[in-house]
Structure 1
Amino acid sequence: MSIFKPFTFDTVASINCEWGAARRLGDILAAWTDRRNLLIVTDKFLHNAGLLDPAKASLEAAGFTLSVFDDVVADPPEAVLYQCVDQAKTVKADVVLGLGGGSSMDIAKLAAVLIPSTQALSELYGIGKVKGTRLPLVQIPTTAGTGSEVTNITILTTGETTKMGVVAQQLYADKVILDAELTIGLPPLITAATGIDAMVHAIEAYTSRHRKNPLSDALAREALRLLASNLVAACEDGKNRTAREAMLLGATLAGQAFANAPVAAVHALAYPLGGHYHIPHGLSNALMLGPVLRFNLSAAAQLYAELADVLLGPSNATVTSRATRFVEFMDDLMNRSGAPRRLRDMKVTEDSLPLLASDAMKQERLLQNNPVELREADALALYKNAF
């Protein structure tokens, strides 16, 4: 009899992890594809700050013709995607490169699909709705957090406060380039928020009720080990190469884990905070992680105990004791990271908590993965706990 339940594990085709890889990007991509009309999808801050300059110089030296779309914003609306696709079609781009945070990489994914497609965007929302192929897609993250470079998910803002997702095999990149040099100088607060976001991905993948499997578990454990042991160092010294490399790899491993074993209540409760208060996604997760860990503690005790062993070393203590130590460790780590810990610190008003709870319940795709069933009254209690 098999010891494993049947499972499927999908991920990107290729990962290149190399300090300074962006400086020789032209050579890397020229050896990979004969196409030379490349669209870079990024944001104005990165573009204006010159972060793209070494990569652009290398690409141009290798014979690539470049067009830069730099209008990506946080929580991008559909209009940004349409603008990106229009620009790509105008310049006849035949390769798409996402360079930046999760929003830039998310737009790059869907742009690569829509540029050659006859499908309307409205037909793509949901799981497995994308038909046909896409343009070749390369992803280069500049933060260590979202894991978007290795996921097959794109989230778009579809209204004032609502978001919708596209989940499809076609959104997995052909090539991911991890160059931790690009994360040097990331401000401490962004380092903390994105790092905690990545740890949430690892924890929720490890405790997910659906599609959790031995590969996602192994990736989640190693991701959490790398992230937890380097977060504070990366926050305290933004030029710490060892810490930066560990954080970037950890975020990618966590992304591979949760792309296969989906996230749950922390994310479900985080999304309304982004929608109503425009709190960055990583910070939203940081604010809700502690309350949700405590809410799930009894049901997820065995799994939390296993993660405690990863972070704190093996112990002969009881499962309950080790699980509790894990939750306490994560609370302490978030405190030391300098990330905000209370909703009131982010200008969330107490009278809005019922609305947030109501909106969180719309995230059924995520809530079904939580170790414990979560009702609207529970969601409200968790927001109050975090307030």
Structure 2
Amino acid sequence: MQNFTFSTTKTIVCEAGAARLLAESCRAAGAGRVLLVTDAGILNAGLLDGVLPGFDRSDLRLGIFDRVEADPSSATVEAAVHAARALGAEMIVGFGGGSAMDVAKVVAVLAHPDCRQSLDELYGVGSICGPRLPLLQVPTTAGTGSEVTPIAIITTGKTTKAGIVSPHLQPDTALLDPQLTLGLPPKVTAATGIDAMVHAIEAYTSAHKKNPVSDMLAREALRLLAGNIANATHRGNELNARSQMLLGALYAGQAFANAPVAAVHALAYPLGGHFHIPHGLSNSLVLPHVLRFNASAAAPLYAELAPLVMGGQCVTGSPQQKTGQLIDWLESLIVELGLPSRLRDCGVTEDRLPQLAEDAMQQQRLLVNNPRAVTEADALAIYRAAF
């Protein structure tokens, strides 16, 4: 039997309308003062309208920090920590996409009364010391899986991001309410859905910590995501499709939290840093080209995934041929979902490709998980293929 360790969020609630019970969940955790970390778009879209009355009826004191931006900065994290400390927060709730949930994770650590670390001391793997505040996550997109991962990504400079990876960031509770995702725009639905699919694909082929449980979750995630992403994108009010996408994203998050992602993410991060391309779209832009690069090493595994992803379509031939069919299908899906498929269509200029490749090589935390070693020349060739 293979030796492995698998960990995930302790409690998962999946129920349409469950967000209305958020105050009850916080009270059950023993919190009297709660900071909810979100973004202005969530407030403006009215996604908290069904949540706030529960706090009004309770004896809980609720603070709302709504200044999280896409690719949240270290300054935003520090401001949220200040808000939590000023409130005397006893619990942190992340409510939104991956950015809000990532900020919530870090705030739960830094706002704990016994924390003696600074934000700069948390970056890297296993750098967090001491306890954190109770942490509950409510995703409003089906993509990042941050509600079940011990990872937070923070923008540390004008074009750079850094990861914080620690068991201390593993949330206590994930609350999945598909009704919160009904209003997502088609392109956001598509991009975040592709992000979740990438999590599952990279977890299944990860060179480190791949294990039977993460494999099982990755396969089921891909079945759910590939089977529902078109419906969720083009017929966004279909609650069942939205539910399956949320569950698929959670499964994918559980998978890659234990079998880490690799080159697709490593090459996606510089696109976000330099050109502010949303993370899911950045993954989508490089996905087919990284898979082609990896095929010589990972074709047998990609071939196993092809029938799951392609549904009822016939997948035949050698592992290399099945891999080719999988990549072709994914490229067609990206077009069908209305996402751009070339870097040049997203404002990337050819003269910047060498800088992107150089920056991608700084993501060694991710590149070591790739089934095939990636050099700077390889990264440049992949960006050129995607251009």
1:83-107 deviation digits (Å, cap 9, x = unpaired): 1111111111111000001010001
- Equivalent position SS for 2:200: helix
Matches within 5 A, 1:26-37: 26-30=23-27, 32-37=28-33
Query: 2:9 aligned with 1:12, yes or no?
Result: yes
Q: Which residue is 1:291 aligned to?
A: 289
For residue 316 of structure 1, report the CA deviation from its aligned partner: 6.0
After TM superposition, the structure 1 stretch with the greater mean CA deviation from structure 2, 47-56 or 8-17, is 47-56
1:120 is matched with: 118
State the Cα distance separating 1:59 from its structure 2 match.
2.5
SS at match of 1:299: helix
What per-residue deviation string (whole Å, max 9, x for no partner) do you get for residues 269-324 of structure 1? 00000000000100100000011111111211110111013234686633222222
Residue 249 of structure 2 corresponds to: 251
- Deviation per CA, 1:159-216: give whole Å up to 9, x if none: 1111111111010011110001000010001001000000000000000000000000
Q: Distance in 1 between matches of 2:141 and 2:295?
A: 30
Q: Which residue of 2 aligns with 1:48?
A: 44
2:135 is matched with 137
Q: Secondary structure at the match of 1:181?
A: helix
Match of 1:103 in 2: 99
Alpha-carbon distance in structure 1 between the residues aligned to 2:284 and 2:180: 23
Q: Deviations over 1:50-82 (max 9, x none)?
A: 211211112332322110000101111111111
How far off is 1:237 after superposition? Answer: 1.0
- In the TM superposition, structure 1's runs of 4+ consecutive aligned residues that sit over 4 Å from their partners are 313-316
Give 1:331's aligned residue: 331
1:317 aligned partner, one-letter code: G
When structure 1 is superposed on structure 2, of 169-178 and 116-125 the one drifting more is 116-125
Task: State TM-score, norm by structure 2.
Answer: 0.97
Structure 1, residues 135-155: CA drift from partner, whole Å, max 9, x if none?
110000000001111110111
Structure-1 separation of matches of 2:233 and 2:357: 31
TM-score when normalising by structure 1: 0.97
* Contact 2:136–2:171 (Cα < 8 Å) also in 1: yes
Deviations 1:203-261 (A, max 9, x none): 00000000000000000000011000111111101101111001111011101100111
Q: Is the 8 A contact 2:26 2:34 kept in 1?
A: no
* Corresponding residue for residue 219 of structure 1: 217
Partner of 2:268: 270
Give the match's secondary structure for 2:50.
Answer: helix
Match of 1:378 in 2: 378
Query: Quick one: percent identity of the two aligned structures?
Result: 56
User: Residue type matched to 1:251 in 2?
Assistant: A
Q: Distance in 2 between matches of 1:303 and 1:266?
A: 16
Could you tell me which residue of structure 1 aligns to residue 207 of structure 2?
A: 209
The 8 Å contact of residues 228 and 333 in structure 1, kept in 2 or not, is answered as no
Partner of 1:342: 342
Q: Could you list the runs of 5+ residues in structure 2 that have no partner in the other structure?
A: none
Secondary structure of 1:133 counterpart: coil
Match of residue 165 from structure 2: 167
- Counterpart of 1:317 in structure 2 is 317
Q: 1:316 to 1:271 in 2, by over 3 A?
A: closer
Q: Which residue, out of 211, 235, 238, partners 2:236?
A: 238
Aligned residue in 2 for 1:62: 58
The residue type equivalent to 2:300 in the other structure is Q
Look up the equivalent residue of 2:34 and give its one-letter code: L
In structure 1, C-alpha distance between the alignment counterparts of 2:38 and 2:178, rounded to whole Å: 17
Q: Which moved more, 1:183-192 or 1:116-125?
A: 116-125
- Counterpart Cα distance in 2 of 1:375 and 1:45: 39
Match of 1:282 among 270, 280, 283: 280
Q: Which runs of 5+ in 1 are unaligned?
A: none
Contact conserved, 1:211 with 1:262, CA < 8 A, in 2? yes
Q: Secondary structure at the match of 2:233?
A: helix
Kindly provide the amino acid, as one letter, of the partner of residue 95 in structure 1. M
Residue-pair matches, total: 383
> 1:29 Cα deviation (Å)?
3.2
Deviation for aligned residue 1:47:
1.3
- Alpha-carbon offset, residue 120 of structure 1: 1.3
CA RMSD of aligned residues (A): 1.2
What is aligned with 1:76? 72
